[in-house]
Amino acid sequence: MKLTIFGIAAATLAIVPAGALAQGADQPGEAQVTAFTASKSVTFGDRVKMAGRVEPAQVAQVRLERRGVAGGWVPWATVRTNTRGRFKAAVPLKGSADVRARVMGVAAETTGPELAVRVRRSVGVTWEVDPTEAIAGRPIAVEAIVKPARPGERILIEGTRGKIWRKLSRPVVVPGGSAKAFVRLPAGGKWRLRARAVGTAGHDADGAAVSAPIRVHRANPHGVPRSSGSHIVQAINEMQLYYYERGKLRRVLPVVYGKPSTPTPSGRFRVYSKTPGPGPAFGPLAMWYFRGYGIHGTNQENLLSHTSRYYSLGCTRNYNENIRWLYPRVAIGTPVWNIRS
């Protein structure tokens, strides 16, 4: 399952690049910027939205400026006011900076208030895990993207099952803005991951992205003994088959169990035979554990996508890919616990 969080806003207001207005445009009188607002913070890649007013009201050229690295003011963009002296703009900003607006073309070019705009790091995070292997203690691949990324950039990978975030790995290096890591979730439950990039004072602010939640299974929710080699627990009420090796959960498979009139039996059994599927309805392979009840594939894989999966005559039906994975790992004599929790 690959899930991604990454937001980029679209430009909504047209602006004119600094210096692009033709010479000889309408020149104002002794006007000045009397009102000026700007976004307090934006995510890298978004545009800073600004608006203001020039008085006395007239058509005028207003230059938007940002404070440069050396401390001086740098032209950013130029906009024209309407006949009421008002202007709007939406301009990209690569790093946190002070911004201002000034009326052009008068003897003493006047400026409006100076405003601070913080640019948050743009962060994306995805994690890739087979839902059958989302198990506490097993490695899960995580990828994060940071913009802008600096040489030697590092990000933190954190996780939570509620409100408190915990560190899941050491800071991960982000060469070229992209980083990959493997994390192990310490416990079962509904987890979310977060990638967090730390900002730099005066340049940009912290940025973070949070993944969608994913259910993670406990490492041994059924108390399977470590002395057991291969071990199967069929949780009938959950419509899932749990496969263990030496007391450690390896995979959780979605399955079809018996319909109400022909239920899958409860109890403790052992695999007594393994055969090819005796007919199309059994798929490619079958493992038998009690009076003709078996764990096998199916020619109706579409039933495995249903929310409720009680359709069989009592056997356990798997995706054929899953029964091919399971079959060679299950030896004759493997315990099969059928439970209704």
CATH of 230-339, one of 3.40.50.620, 2.40.440.10, 3.40.50.150, 3.40.50.2000: 2.40.440.10
**Mind listing the pLDDT tens digit for each residue in 254-297?**
999 999 999 999 999 999 999 999 999 999 999 999 999 999 99
- pLDDT for res 17: 43
- pLDDT for res 23: 37
pTM over the 0.85 mark: no
Specify whether the CB–CB gap between 206 and 120 falls below 8 A. yes
Cis ω on the peptide bond leading into residue 148 (within 30° of 0)? Answer: yes
Is the pLDDT at 125 greater than 70, yes or no?
A: yes
Mean pLDDT of the chain: 88
Token pair for residue 289? 């554990």
Tell me, yes or no, if the two domains 13-118 and 122-216 fold the same way.
yes
**Mind listing the pLDDT tens digit for each residue in 22-66?**
333 444 457 899 999 999 999 988 999 999 999 999 999 999 999
Domain residue spans in the chain?
A: 13-118, 122-216, 230-339
Q: Which of 225-229, 297-301, 317-321 has the lowest mean pLDDT?
A: 225-229
13-118 in CATH: which number? Answer: 2.60.40.730
Reduced to 3 states (helix: H, G, I; strand: E, B; else coil), residue 71 is coil
**Mind listing the pLDDT tens digit for each residue in 143-196?**
999 988 878 888 999 999 999 999 998 899 988 889 999 999 999 999 999 999
CATH 2.60.40.150 fits 122-216, yes or no: yes
Q: Which of 145-159, 229-243, 303-317, 320-334 has the lowest mean pLDDT?
A: 145-159
The DSSP secondary structure of 307-334, one letter per residue, reads SS-EEESSSEE--HHHHHHHGGGPPTT-
- Counting residues of the chain whose pLDDT is more than 70, the rounded percentage is 89
- pLDDT for res 197: 87
Contacts of 134 (CB under 8 A, 6+ apart): 1, 140, 214, 215, 216, 217, 252
- pLDDT for res 152: 82
- pLDDT for res 16: 42
